[in-house]
Structure 1
Amino acid sequence: MSNAVEVKVPDIGDFSEVEVIEVLVAPGDTVKAEQSLITVESDKASMEIPSPGAGVVKSVKVKVGDKIKEGSIILELESAEAAQPAKAATPAAPQASAQPAAAPAAAAPAAAANTPEAAPPAAPAAAQAGGSVKVEVPDIGDFNEVEVIEVLVAVGDTVKAEQSLITVESDKASMEIPSPQAGVVKAVHVKVGDKINQGSFILELEASGGQAAAPAASPAPSAAPAQAPAAASAGSAAPAADQNGALASEPVVHPSPTAEFDAAPKRNLPHASPSVRKFARELGVDLTRVVGSGRNGRIVADDVRGYVKQAVAGGVSGGGSTAAAGGGLSVLDWPKVDFAKFGPIEAKPLSRIKKISGANLHRNWVMIPHVTNNDLADITDLEAFRVELNQENQKSGTKVTMLAFIIKAVVAALKKFPDFNASLDGDNLVLKQYFNVGFAADTPNGLVVPVIRDADKKGIFELASETSELARQARDGKLSPAQMQGGCFSISSLGGIGGTSFTPIINAPEVAILGVSRSAHQPVWDGKAFQPRLMLPLSLSYDHRVIDGASAARFNAYLSALLADFRRIAL
């Protein structure tokens, strides 16, 4: 009689529902008491759920992307004593369970392999062991088309069974496609950026004389939302769904996120969670060079941030000395101070948004040569018009803000100066034919940048209503990742707070951002006398690799002219 027990989600505090971002074990794995089974993440924190006792995993009831809560069943666990005979009778299982440190990598493929649908795709390749094998994309779940974001092997490489060949990504998840068996890569038929489906031809493999045929048929299909190679690649990790959802302007993408990965294909991927791997790709960090500080050498987000900081300081050079490397800056180490020696202190952790956006801002400031052009716009007549509109439309419930007028004027300026509505992609300048304008929204947890799509097709009232609604959702923490993606140009307004000018940081991969400070009445000479005029400070930061100073000055001057006489919008 089975001694299997259901392992459920314990008390996880004030989180009513959390998302599974990693499944760290698979059926057949032997686990110890307190060994982590899954990793879950809320909008504020991530945590691992431990095993209440030792035993063998009989079945896993959750997968990456599932929403679970206290009391949800995670898996069925058979006590260690009852599992001894079964363990001895299944010699094929140790591949997935022999090394607990590699469990996160093996979890998803093994779980997928136990479903009836998962086994067939790998069977044809395994049956041809010892000859030339065409490796195809196995069952990848409900994804009709996925993009290749990493090619992990090259022609001539010797691969093991279950070693990852490529990494693909959909709009919801990242996953790795493993090799069905050992062999030598004869030809690679995909490249980064390709769109592939189930059955697509990945590569041709010269199989190693019949080995690994049986194991390949089991865990080969990578159907789980996030998966990785089995324990054959020690320390490997499985990318999964993007957990940086509400991360602010985070949809920011490095101009060439695969540059470092393309330079040297990887055989043994590092041990890191899906969200950390995506974070590293966005920063262009090669995870094989990062030393993990987490359990079993696992790389966490802070390790990636530390690597970037050290690289910026010129300190990443193999072993990570503080000497300048490759032209980097040579600076002193960050001071370590015991602040409590000088008085009472309180340690307050940064919010999740600030942690993520902070790394992006740091990268953008270091990698983009910023220059800021400051100007003043006379908005005396426009402000009077705005007040008049609000008085006329009090019953509509929509309050027109100055931001709506600024967005409309920015779109007109982007049309006149198309280089500002562009992004760098290597040596190419991508000129966009659409006009999506982001605006910085201040929230209790940090700054986020929702995006107004097709701003050129919307009127002042529609822009005012949409910015108000997006700002409300931002404050409530309800913005979706899609609402913060696709921006062409950003606006950061501090007009409601104060200041006369500032240098906003460009939101990569955009090439410019407009900072708006508080308007104030100033004396302006009209040719005969000084007149009191309401002046709005504009601070335009631009990427000097794309835009020169004269173009920036013209852009700001044109924008100021539009705001001074809004009738020019119609010209």
Structure 2
Amino acid sequence: MTEVRVPTLGESVTEATVATWFKKPGDSVAVDEMLCELETDKVTVEVPSPAAGTLSDIVAEEGETVGVDALLANISEGDSGGGDKKGGGSQKGGGKSEEASKETEEAPKKEVADAGGSQGDQTGTKVDVMVPTLGESVSEATVATWFKKSGDSVEQDETLCELETDKVSVEVPAPASGTLSEIVAEEGTTVQADAKLAVIATGSAGAGASDKAEPEAGTKDGGDTPAKAPGATQYDSPPAGDGGPGRSDIEDAPSAKKAMAEKGVSRDQVQGSGRDGRVMKEDVAKALSAAKAPPQGESAPQKAPRAPVAAEDEAREERVKMTRLRQTIARRLKDAQNTAAMLTTYNEVDMTEVMALRSEYKDLFEKKHGVRLGFMSFFTKACCFALKEVPEVNAEIDGTDVVYKNFVHMGIATGTPNGLVVPVIRDVDSLSFAEIEAAIGEKGKRARDGKLSMAEMQGGTFTISNGGVYGSLMSSPILNPPQSGILGMHKIQQRPMVVDGEIKARPMMYLALSYDHRIVDGKGAVTFLVRVKEALEDPRRMLMDL
């Protein structure tokens, strides 16, 4: 007997509601086949089967609230349902033979090619290409680019397409070698987590796939079942002809029912985005937002009017849709301005001592540690030094509470071809100069290559942004919520300064600290910058903790 338990739901999420069971007791299940769907405050989580066998009993029924690692059901292993078992929805139209059922048990993610309802026509298999794990709190992505087209041969692990989420780009590799027989989600389509992207035909099915003509418009595989329209998401309509429930039988999420009852919204006013068109909690919120939108013909107050464009100039314009990353950057930066009482204070630092120290030891440092000694490690160390004295700059607001962090997870703002991202170096206050330089170099390269994961950009407590690498002399950085402080570095420039009564040329840099004035007072902000200035102008202070 194998237990089916609630998976990890994500940081700070301790419970979920059982939304829908896709199987019932007595049904045959295969490894990784979806058993049920859980709904949390933020995301919908699908629970796969941990083993092949028969669903013997369901412990947590639909609508029940369960905690992490709670028991959901039990699976009796062994025969997962041959030709004698007729579990509801476990067979498609009765067209599969006992041999096909056995093959499905051995390879649960592969589907027997059965174009004409007869197994003797083809002996190959089909493998679904699914959306990979996108990261915590990310429930959808946009299909950015397909590198292959229908009929192309593919090798296992070869990149098929690229998905774009709010923060990162995700490459989707081929799960098997064969022929890309069908693309389900075209470029520009928004797909849910675990949605089907394409189908790969392997074996003789793959060999025959490229020889077949394209199916007629409105049909799939030349059959009578309507094909999915280009650009449609996986859940646009319920499946037909496979023994699945009709639209009237689809059970909406319990939280969605509750929200509709509380807000007085009828079911007909809500467009479901869940599996088979189920209404989710966020769908109700979208319907309410749409109802509050200004009537057609009236301009939305938040959208600025576009400047008039002459006809001859309009023909020379190019309109490009913003990427999801750029949309997220725009939204978060504007939210920061609307939410925080943001203020910026400035100071300047004489970089003479840091530059001299770096020049003296950079060759020896690189020879011993294998990384170059840059300025970022000095600034990171100086900020950690200052944050100990002014802890509110390293804190955040949570409702009516102030949460002080007794650690420093430093965000390093990094420019990439797709936009600004902020990878986080964790517990940077306990790292050495060499470890900081190595981490910054590694995170920066991964950011520019688009290889950062969601986890690597979450949990930061303070951020450094170096606009000086682009020649910026002065700027006011915008906070990275929910953080309360961000330090802006700028260009090092020789300027005349009075030193010991004499005018000398000194390498000077302007520093800018943007902070949330709700919890950081002017005194704390100025003190922070002064401590950073002192640490950089006399680096020995950091070694002696002065």
What TM-score does the superposition give when structure 1 sets the normalisation length? 0.52
Pairwise CA distance, 1:345: 2.6
Q: 1:320 to 1:414 in 2, by over 3 A?
A: farther
Matched, 1:470 2:443: yes
Q: Which residues of 2 match residues 507-526 of structure 1 at below 5 A? A: 507-526=480-499
| Other-structure match for 1:164 | 253
CA deviation map 1:310-355 (0-9, x unaligned):
xxxxxx677599799xxxxx78842254465337333344344222
Give runs of aligned pairs for residues 428-467 of structure 1, distance below 5 A: 428-467=401-440
Aligned to 2:384: 411
The answer to whether the 8 Å contact 2:377/2:436 transfers is yes
Q: Percent identity?
A: 25
1:378-420 CA distance string (max 9 Å, x none): 1210111112221223434310110111011111111111111
Change beyond 3 A, Cα 1:68–1:378: farther
Q: Structure 1's 563 and 107: CA in aligned 2 closer, same or farther, altered over 3 A?
A: farther
Which residue, 519, 532, 544 being the options, matches 1:559?
A: 532
The 1:421/1:67 distance shift into structure 2, 3 A limit, reads farther
Is 2:474 aligned against 1:341?
no
- Three-state SS of the structure 1 residue aligned to 2:469 is coil
**Which residue of structure 1 lines up, in the alignment, with residue 290 of structure 2?**
291
1:64 aligns with 2:63: no
Q: Is the 8 A contact 2:127 2:199 kept in 1?
A: no
1:17 alignment partner in structure 2: 160
1:37-186 to structure 2, matched below 5 A, reads 39=185, 46-47=188-189, 64=194, 104=235, 162-166=251-255
Distance 1:447 1:538 in 2: 20
> Quick check: 1:361 aligned with 2:333?
yes
Matches within 5 A, 1:275-290: 286-290=285-289
Matches within 5 A, 1:501-512: 501-512=474-485
Unaligned runs of 5+ in 1: 22-35, 50-61, 85-96, 115-159, 168-177, 186-230, 240-266, 278-285, 293-315, 325-329
Match of 1:386 among 346, 358, 381: 358
Question: What amino acid maps onto 2:147 in structure 1?
Answer: D
SS of alignment partner, residue 406 of structure 1: helix
What is the CA deviation profile of residues 352-391 of structure 1, one whole-angstrom value per residue up to 9, with x for unaligned ones? 4222222222222232222111110112101111122212
**2:106 aligned partner:** none
Instruction: Indicate yes or no: 2:462 matched with 1:489.
Output: yes
The alpha carbon displacement at 1:540 in A equals 0.6
Q: CA deviation at 1:558?
A: 1.3
Does the 8 A contact of 1:37 with 1:48 survive in 2? no
- Check the 8 A contact 1:4/1:78 in 2, yes or no: no
Q: 2:274 aligns with which of 225, 238, 256?
A: 238
2:287 corresponds to which letter in structure 1? T
Equivalent position amino acid for 1:64 in 2: D
- Shift in Å, 1:434: 1.8
Q: Cα offset for 1:527?
A: 3.9
Paired letter, 1:439: I
Secondary structure at the residue paired with 2:541? Answer: helix
Distance 1:553 1:477 in 2: 36
2:168 counterpart residue number:
none
CA distance in structure 2 between the aligned counterparts of 1:102 and 1:479, rounded to whole angstroms: 26
The question of whether the paired residues in 2 share the 8 Å contact of 1:520 and 1:535 is answered with yes
Match of 2:254, SS?
strand
RMSD over aligned CA atoms reads: 4.7
- Does the CA contact (< 8 Å) of 1:382 and 1:564 recur in 2? yes
- Measured in 2, the distance between the counterparts of 1:322 and 1:517 equals 44
Query: Which of 376, 385, 395 is matched with 2:348 structurally?
Result: 376
Q: CA deviation at 1:14?
A: 1.7
Is the CA contact 1:423–1:511 (under 8 Å) kept in the aligned structure 2?
yes
Q: Which amino acid aligns with 2:312?
A: K
Aligned-partner Cα distance in 1 for 2:252–2:333: 35
Instruction: Check conservation: 1:374, 1:537, Cα contact below 8 A.
Output: yes
What secondary structure does 2:451 align onto? coil
CA distance in 2, matches of 1:453, 1:478: 18
Change (3 A) 1:237 1:515: same
Determine which structure has more spread, i.e. the larger CA radius of gyration: 2
1:491 to partner: Cα distance: 0.7
- Distance in 1 (CA, whole Å) between partners of 2:238 and 2:404 is 43
TM-score, normalization by structure 2 = 0.55
Per the alignment, residue 536 of structure 1 pairs with 509
- Is the CA contact (8 Å cut-off) linking 1:20 and 1:67 kept in structure 2? no
The 1:268–1:566 alpha-carbon spacing in structure 2 relative to 1, beyond 3 Å, is same
Q: Is the 8 A contact 1:270 1:288 kept in 2?
A: no
Asked if the contact 2:392/2:404 (under 8 Å) is kept, the reply is yes
Q: Where does residue 322 of structure 2 map in the other structure? A: 350
CA deviation vs aligned residue, 1:120-140 (integer Å, no higher than 9, x gap): xxxxxxxxxxxxxxxxxxxxx
Q: Is the 8 A contact 1:521 1:533 kept in 2?
A: yes
Q: Which moved more, 1:385-394 or 1:513-522?
A: 385-394
Q: 2:472 aligns with which of 495, 499, 502?
A: 499
